């Protein structure tokens, strides 16, 4: 099950899981093109179905899990990818934060994954275990001057990841988080000025922006038996952005190579 699966990272993750052999349920808000994504995967010979969901609503989440079990007989992998990004332009600092905006972000980004875990974990335990992957963010690992609600929700999701891992590991349920850096999606290209993208690219140790496939391949790994001894972990997928001090990068450029010594002169 991939929430937020109708576009960007979610759609790429659904495709990666389907190519790995999974039967995939693509879940997203009813207005998203989730049927289109499911149809494209099915046309490629993969197994994918779509189902609408409001992750902030428990009845909707319960219905999604029930649909998954009824369709495929169980639930082995949950990718909590859905997040509220439309509020980001209004998500500034604490002093200007409205309670309504804070609650709106938390309802989707934190309550949503909690509800999905609440209803998915018992199904996974009944089948001997499963893997939950929560899509957090580098914003949840370090502070910034804006996006305080979004970053706080992702920090909370990282904590939730560890609590789920601690509580249900003995029942075979693994829970990990992926913390993407700046990932280049059509929405990002439309909304983010080129000079901002260039600033991120410059401060990445891998000198490019991330792609949805960079995140999807890590999710597929964490979902697989190859990651069977990995739980309670947070894996940054950020090109090394948080592995150094980006604000110091202009002062840390490699010094110019020394000039070769002058040839000796005979007297």
Both tokens assigned to 31: 């207005």
Both tokens assigned to 69: 């079990």
CB contact at 8 A, 78 and 117: yes
C-alpha separations of 211 from 15, 23, 216 in Å:
14, 23, 9
Any bridge partners for residue 79, and if so which? 2, 133
Residue 173, SS3? strand
Q: Please pick, among 27, 68, 116, 150, the residue that the annotation labels catalytic.
A: 150
Both tokens assigned to 14: 């659904």
CB contact at 8 A, 2 and 10: yes
- The candidate with the shortest Cα–Cα distance to 177, out of 69, 83, 91, is 83
Q: Is 168 a catalytic residue?
A: no
- The candidate with the shortest Cα–Cα distance to 178, out of 200, 161, 156, is 161
- The candidate with the shortest Cα–Cα distance to 246, out of 191, 203, 195, 194, is 203
C-alpha separations of 61 from 17, 18, 137, 176, 179 in Å:
21, 22, 23, 20, 24
User: Phi/psi of residue 262, each to 5°?
Assistant: -70, 145
Sign for the CA dihedral angle at 146, 150, 156, 161 comes to: negative
Tell me the catalytic residues. 150
């Amino acid at each position: 099950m991939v929430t937020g699966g109708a576009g960007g990272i979610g759609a790429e993750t659904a495709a990666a899981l389907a190519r790995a052999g999974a039967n995939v349920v693509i879940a997203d808000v009813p207005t998203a093109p989730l049927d289109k994504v499911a149809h494209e995967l099915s046309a490629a010979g993969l197994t994918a179905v779509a189902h609408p969901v409001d992750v902030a609503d428990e009845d909707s989440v319960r219905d999604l899990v029930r649909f998954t079990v009824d369709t495929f007989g169980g639930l082995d992998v949950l990718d909590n990818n859905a997040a509220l990004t439309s509020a980001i332009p209004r998500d500034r600092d604490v002093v200007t934060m409205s309670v309504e905006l804070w609650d709106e972000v938390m309802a989707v980004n934190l309550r949503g994954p909690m509800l999905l875990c609440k209803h998915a974990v018992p199904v996974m335990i009944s089948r001997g275990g499963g893997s939950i992957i929560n899509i957090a963010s580098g914003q949840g690992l370090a502070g910034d001057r804006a996006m305080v609600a979004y970053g706080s929700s992702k920090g909370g999701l990282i904590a939730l990841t560890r609590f789920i891992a601690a509580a249900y590991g003995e029942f075979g349920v693994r829970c990990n988080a992926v913390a993407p850096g700046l990932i280049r999606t059509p929405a990002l290209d439309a909304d983010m000025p080129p000079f901002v993208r260039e600033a991120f690219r410059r401060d990445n140790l891998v000198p490019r922006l991330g792609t949805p496939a960079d995140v999807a391949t890590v999710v597929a790994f964490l979902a697989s038996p190859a990651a069977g001894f990995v739980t309670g972990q947070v894996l940054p997928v950020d090109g090394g952005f948080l592995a150094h001090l980006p604000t110091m990068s202009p002062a840390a450029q490699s010094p110019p190579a020394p000039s070769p010594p002058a040839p000796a002169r005979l007297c």
